[in-house]
């Protein structure tokens, strides 16, 4: 069946089979930032934003996403300038191998849009579904805290 | 993994499709797709609710609240009606999975999945919920305790689906919800406990310690008989344990689950005594 998907503001017409997952279709369209690891709703690496809310593309039918706005991490960098979340992750060393980062960055973006000054506990809660094999999470949590401290005018420790 | 995905747009269309063989209904898909991936079920057709109009309402019905079958955990968490009238439900929903899971998973999906660990099922037991079933014979309601028959088993017949769930308001009760997991909220509970207290009345339910969520009615009556003073905590705990028949599984042993529940009960009542009793 033919499907229209709006990804990062761009409309794609794609041929899919009805049971295909959004993850497979996005990767086929070239959005390789959308990562597959568990393929079973457990790791968060395949997270994309659907109308601004994080969802798991490995277990969402592509057909379900028509008529909605999909965002992948490709949309975060604009004209060579990284998103504050990406900058902050670089500063704190929150990205090691980087595999989990697209899902992490999108989940964090949705959190900050909903709650611009989250507490450490709220950050941990929001990122609960994004697994990382490398960092032990501390540097990732700090990356988000640093952004909120900058916004709140607090010292950037 | 090959199946057809059907996307009905109206309730009539949905009811017609539900009569087809080897078809499974899907709301958020956070349970069913995981089970299909694991090869545990092999439906030929998946009937997705995503394009069905409506069914995502949360309605204040006086002394009850009505939640449509497309309401996600996230939508329920931001509902003013639930904030005011069912804090226990919000406490339980906050414990479910991760934001990604809460954005897609539904309360009705949680009920029909009928897991003894289903977090939203505990507040529903405590709030005397009724499951609203729609099918070829029209609509009818069943108490949730009759609807859930065992792990993964419900009273749903062929051609029927769950239209909504309805439950009592509990805004004037003091709510408590505890979940012991392995990896904080992402873990399915090893054991969980929910309760509502108001004056000398208590409602108490447990998750993950029996084939279904259970409500410990005898313990509730013991509490009432003693006017809220549980003179002998051990007796109260023994009455609760009558409802508990834990299993050994990959997450914990039966012995461990029993000990967890006993300790949870002691801690819970110690903190309750400080606050309300
Ligand atoms: C990583 C992960 C973490 C999780 N953590 C938790 C947790 O902490 N606590 C918890 O309780 N659960 C948890 N779950 C389980 C799951 O997310 C919940 O049970 C969720 O509420 C299911 O809702 P759904 O809409 O996604 O159901 P679906 O997967 O769409 O459906 C579940 C079942 O219900 C049936 N069904 C759905 N809607 C209807 C209807 N209207 N009428 C009839 N049948 C219907 C389906 O056929 C299927 O059998 C987790 C799942 C994952 C993958
Ligand atoms: S690949 Fe989707 S959650 Fe792991
Ligand atoms: S940085 Fe390697 S998995 Fe997170």
Question: Residue A46 CA: which ligand 2 atom is closest?
Answer: 2
Q: Which of B132, B6, B25 is nearest to B68 (CA)?
A: B132
Do residues A64 and A87 lie in contact, with contact meaning Cβ atoms separated by under 8 Å? no
CATH classification at residue A10: 3.10.20.30
| One domain, residues A115 and A61 | no
Chain A hits for B39, Cβ within 8 Å: none
Instruction: Tell me: do A57 and A104 sit in the same domain.
Output: no
What residue has token string 């997952």? A21
Per-residue tokens: A5: 């998907």
* C-alpha of residue A140 to centroid of ligand 3, in Å: 10
B97–chain A Cβ distance below 8 A for any pair: yes
Tally of domains in chain A:
2
- B77: number of Cβ within 10 Å: 15
- Whether residue B141 contacts residue B192, with contact meaning beta carbons closer than 8 Å, is answered with no
Domain end call among A52, A75, A98 = A75
d(CA A130, CA A95): 13
Q: Which of residues 38-67 of A touch B (CB under 8 A)?
A: 39-42, 44, 47, 50, 53-56, 59-61, 63-64
Domains and CATH numbers, chain B: 4-48 (3.30.43), 58-168 (3.30.465.10), 174-274 (3.30.390.50)
Whether A94 and A40 map to the same domain: the answer is no
Q: Are residues A64 and A10 in the same domain?
A: yes
> What is the pTM assigned to this prediction?
0.93
Token digits for B167?
A: 């439950």
B130-135 and B4-6: which strand pairing?
Answer: unpaired
Q: Which position has the token pair 């279709």?
A: A25
For residues A56 and A94, membership in a common domain is answered with no
| CA-based torsion, A74, A80, A84, A90: positive or negative | positive
Query: What single string gives the DSSP state of each residue in B72-138?
Result: BHHHHHT-HHHHHH-HHHHHHHHTSS-HHHHHH-BHHHHHHHT-TT-TTHHHHHHTT-EEEEEETTE
Enclosing domain of residue A42: 2-75
The predicted complex's ipTM stands at 0.89
Q: Are residues A63 and A94 in the same domain?
A: no
Binary contact (B100, A110; C-beta < 8 A)? no
**Is the minimum CB–CB distance between A122 and chain B shorter than 8 Å?**
no
Which of A57, A75, A93 corresponds to the end of one domain? A75
Do A97 and A58 fall into the same domain? no
* Same domain as A101, residue A68: no
Do A65 and A102 belong to one domain? no
Note down pLDDT in tens along chain B; length 277 residues: 678 999 999 999 999 999 998 999 999 999 999 999 888 999 999 999 999 999 999 999 999 999 999 999 999 999 999 999 999 999 999 999 899 999 999 999 999 999 999 999 999 999 999 999 999 999 999 999 999 999 999 999 999 999 999 999 999 999 999 888 655 544 566 788 999 999 889 999 999 889 999 999 999 999 999 888 877 788 999 999 999 987 777 767 888 888 888 988 998 888 888 877 6
Sign of the torsion angle spanned by Cα atoms B248, B252, B255, B261:
negative
Final residue of a domain: which of A49, A75, A101?
Answer: A75
Q: Which residue has the tokens 């409309």?
A: A11
What is the H or E stretch that residue A16 is in? none
Instruction: Clarify whether residues A103 and A53 are in a common domain.
Output: no
Provide the CATH number for the domain around residue A137.
1.10.150.120
Looking at the structure, tell me whether residues A65 and A107 fall in a common domain: no
What's the half-sphere exposure (Cβ side, CA atoms, 13 Å) at A151? 16
| DSSP-derived secondary structure for A34-90 | S--SSSSSSS-TTEEEETTEEEEGGGSBGGGGTTSEEE-GGGT-BTTB--HHHHHHH
Q: Please indicate, yes or no, whether residues A35 and A97 belong to a single structural domain of this protein.
A: no
Question: Where does residue A125 rank: exposed (0-12), middle (13-18), buried (19+ CB within 10 A)?
Answer: middle
């Amino acid at each position: 069946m033919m499907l229209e998907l709006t990804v990062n503001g761009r409309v794609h017409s794609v041929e899919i089979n009805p049971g295909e997952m959004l993850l497979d279709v996005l990767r086929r369209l070239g959005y390789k930032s959308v990562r597959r690891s568990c393929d079973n709703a457990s790791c968060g690496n395949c997270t994309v934003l659907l109308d601004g809310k994080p969802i798991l593309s490995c277990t969402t039918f592509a057909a379900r996403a028509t008529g909605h706005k999909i965002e992948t991490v490709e949309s975060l960098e604009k004209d060579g300038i990284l998103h504050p979340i990406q900058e902050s992750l670089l500063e704190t060393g929150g990205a090691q191998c980087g595999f989990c980062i697209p899902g992490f960055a999108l989940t964090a973006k949705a959190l900050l849009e909903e709650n611009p000054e989250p507490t450490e506990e709220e950050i941990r809660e929001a990122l609960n579904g994004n697994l990382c094999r490398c960092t032990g999470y501390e540097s990732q949590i700090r990356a988000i805290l640093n952004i909120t401290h900058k916004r709140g005018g607090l010292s950037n420790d | 993994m090959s199946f057809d995905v059907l996307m009905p747009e109206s309730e009539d269309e949905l009811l017609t499709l539900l009569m087809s063989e080897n078809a499974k209904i899907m709301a958020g898909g956070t349970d069913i797709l995981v089970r299909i991936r694991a090869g545990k079920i092999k439906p030929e057709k998946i009937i997705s609710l995503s394009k069905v109009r409506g069914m995502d309402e949360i309605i204040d019905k006086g002394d009850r609240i009505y939640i449509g079958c497309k309401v996600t955990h996230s939508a329920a968490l931001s509902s003013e009606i639930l904030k005011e009238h069912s804090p226990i439900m919000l406490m339980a929903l906050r414990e479910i999975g991760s934001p990604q899971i809460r954005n897609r998973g539904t309360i009705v999906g949680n009920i029909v999945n009928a897991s003894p660990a289903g977090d939203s099922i505990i507040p529903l037991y405590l709030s005397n919920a009724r499951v609203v079933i729609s099918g070829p014979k029209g609509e009818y309601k069943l108490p949730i305790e009759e609807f859930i028959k065992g792990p993964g088993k419900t009273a749903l017949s062929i051609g029927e689906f769950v239209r909504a769930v309805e439950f009592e308001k509990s805004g004037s009760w003091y709510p408590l919800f505890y979940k012991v997991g392995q990896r904080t909220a992402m873990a399915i509970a090893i054991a969980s406990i929910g309760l509502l207290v108001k004056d000398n009345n208590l409602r108490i339910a447990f998750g993950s310690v029996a084939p279904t969520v259970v409500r410990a009615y005898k313990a509730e009556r013991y509490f009432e008989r003693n006017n809220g003073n549980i003179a002998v905590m051990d007796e109260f705990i023994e009455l609760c344990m009558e409802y508990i028949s834990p299993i050994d599984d990959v997450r914990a042993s039966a012995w461990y689950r029993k000990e967890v529940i006993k300790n949870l009960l002691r801690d819970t009542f110690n903190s309750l005594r400080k606050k309300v009793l």
